[in-house]
Amino acid sequence: MQTEHEEDDRAGLNSVGDKVMVLARAGLWQEVVTVPASQTYLMPDGMSFEEAAAFLVNYITAYMILFDFGNLRPNQSVLIHMAAGGVGTAAIQLCKTVENVTIFGTASASKHDALRESGVAHPIDYRSMDYVEEVRKISPKGVDIVLDPLGGSDTTKAFNLLKPMGKLITYGVANLLTGQKKNLMAMAKTWWNQFSINALQLLHLNKAVCGYHLGYMDEEFELIGGVVAKLVSLYSQGKIKPRIDSVWPFEQVADAMRQMQEKKNIGKVILVPELPKEEPKKEDN
């Protein structure tokens, strides 16, 4: 018969009082959260709680897309949509860990300077430009990897932008979100235009299509744990660091959501139960 403590040692789980990051599909907008110990990971030294909140989902997603599916290697090129968002900023940092990777990134023009500073060689304003044409001007053959969180007709464009042996990884359908009001016609159009291809068509095109959804890997503890260990190592080496756009108390959740919906954020929007109170400034005597 094993004691609870022995079982924890055997499973390699964390101890009471440890500072941990939590990976869960839902239910985290609360002051107190209960999750299985297997869904917690030790925070590395020097990491803030805000960084920890921005770390797991974004960086696991970006890492597995780029390396497990994308097989990113030196001298390749990557197109990152929504490059100023949480997954986008994580993907940019991870691309910079590989030698001579050329990054194309779509985002509104106001975010281009920040993207260039982070390592995006070619920021593209998707609102005023045809990003396919802009990529082709610089790289006529296209790119090696496309990260597609958009869906709809953009997935077709992404597939057509791939070089031979290129890889498209789709991981979202952001095009179904159509601003402050849900436009049912636009949603129906996006759904109708979802990319579809069969195995025989893929055969002669020499391209790959992959689908990724972290939320459906709840039971893949060993797989996810291995990725987290690599990411923590990169963080500890100073090669990656979550970019926090803003921190909002629970009572301002609507404002936090609006920050993302209006695409104003660069990096991760964080919710906390309440903002820390500022200490009163001491007056000089």
Structure tokens at 109: 């023009």
pLDDT at 11 over 80: no
- pLDDT band (50, 70, 90) for residue 282: low
Query: pTM (2 decimals)?
Result: 0.86
The string of pLDDT tens digits covering residues 62-94 is 999 999 999 999 999 999 999 999 999 999 999
Closest CA to 78 of 55, 106, 56, 54: 106
Distance CA 40, CA 46 (A): 18
Specify whether the CB–CB gap between 174 and 214 falls below 8 A.
Answer: no
Q: Are 94 and 88 in contact (CB under 8 A)?
A: no
Per-residue pLDDT at 6? 39
- Split at pLDDT 50, 70, 90, the class of 12 is very low
Cα dihedral 149, 154, 156, 160 sign: negative
- Residue 121 has φ and ψ, to the nearest 5°, of -70, -35
Pairing verdict, β 20-22 and 102-106: unpaired
State the Cα–Cα distance between residues 152 and 174, nearest whole angstrom.
Answer: 9
**pLDDT value at position 98?**
98
Distances (CA, A) of 251 to 209, 247, 272, 275: 41, 12, 9, 10
- The answer on pLDDT for 273 being more than 90 is no
Chain segment 15-69, per-residue pLDDT in tens: 888 899 999 877 787 888 888 888 899 999 999 999 999 999 999 999 999 999 9
The CB density around residue 3, as the number of other CB atoms within 10 Å, is 8
pLDDT value at 2 more than 50: no
